[in-house]
Every structure is written in C-alpha cells, then in structure tokens.
Amino acid sequence: MIEKPYSAACDRNRDAILAVLHDHFAGRRSALEIGSGTGQHAVYFAKALPHLTWQASDRAENLGGICAWLDEAELANTPPVLEFDVRQPVWPAQRYDAVYSANTLHIMSWAEVERLFARLPEVLAADARLVVYGPFNYGGRFTSASNADFDVSLKAQAPYRGIRDFEAVDGLARASGLELLEDRAMPANNRCLVWGGG
C-alpha cells in the first residue's frame, strides 16, 4: 500500500480554487484533471462537486499516490486514475465538458504547453470550460518578488521550466478556439484562468 503523498499548498489553495469551480463547472458533467499530482485536489473537488465525474490523471510516476487518495475517499464520482502525459501520441477518446489543471504549465516545457493547447480540442465537448491555476507573468513582468524567486528555483530544477506569460498562454487558447471568460486573482500571487469554448 502506497502512503498518500501530501502537499500543504493544496490545502492552502483548494477553497479559493473551489469557488472558481463552483462558478464555472456548475453546469458541467465530466471533468478531466491534467497533472493531478498528489491527488488531493481530485478528492476535495470531486467531493464538493458531486454533479461532476472527476477524472484524475497524471504521468505514471504519480499514479500510485493519486490512487491511494482516491481509494481512501471511496467517492462515487472518481473513476480510476488515468495515466496521461500530454506528450503521448494517443489522447483519451472520451470528451469532457470541463478540464482543470493546477501548477502544471510552469513545470512542463513550453513545447509541452503548446502541445497541451493544440490537442485540447480533441478532448473538449461542446461548450466546455478550461480552468488553469498557477502563477503567470503579465506584460513580461513578474507580479511579485516571490514569483521572480520561484522562477529562479524552477529554472534551477530544469532550464525548460518557468512561469509563463499570460498573453502567450491565452494566445494558445485562442488558437484552439477558446475564449477567456475570467482571470481571477488567487492567494499567494497565483491566478485562476478560465476559458470557454469547444
């Protein structure tokens, strides 16, 4: 039995994110989470939003931990975690009317971010919503000294990592037929970006 991984940040940000999901995933039925990480958000949001089927997903190395959270919670609306890497050639055959991803765009390479948005329409149902949480730069500038420090630490982990420019990410979303619906400030200099379309 794998011990449940734990991220304190997930406990800190979950209610601010949940308020956004309450507003934008209200009329949706099936959500795909990309890069579920520990699995904490999947359990918390699936429990709070029982009208949604919440499909957690991540790369192979994180599946055991996510599974441990899902197994313990025993929720009726969380199917088994999906192994999913945006780089993989074959994407899920199912379509979702809600997609959620937190703290992933600064971890992926920019080529992976481009791939994520380019292929997103394949898994989006009509009138879908995309919610992306994380830190972003605006006008080429960090929004805080702590985000600038965070960017240095990301690049020390791997040079391809880094805080993304909101305008560049929104450009990818628009090229995939998505329209920005909201850009909400979150605690600790993070944002929740919400697009609609599909």
Q: By CB under 6 A, name the binding residues for ligand SAM.
A: 7, 10, 34-38, 41, 58-59, 62, 85-87, 102-104, 107-108, 112
51: left (phi > 0), else alpha (psi -120 to 50), else beta? alpha
DSSP H helices, the chain, are 8-24, 40-48, 63-73, 110-119, 145-157, 166-175
Nearest one of 63, 168, 64 to 116, comparing CA atoms: 168
Least Å from the CB of residue 30 to ligand SAM: 18
Of 63 and 178, CB closest to ligand SAM: 63
Of 78 and 104, CB closest to ligand SAM: 104
Of 35 and 198, CB closest to ligand SAM: 35
Of 96 and 179, CB closest to ligand SAM: 96
- Residue nearest ligand SAM (C-beta atom): 37
Nearest one of 102, 109, 101 to 162, comparing CA atoms: 109
Least Å from the CB of residue 47 to ligand SAM: 17
**Can you say how many angstroms the Cα of residue 56 is from the centroid of all Cα atoms in its chain?**
10
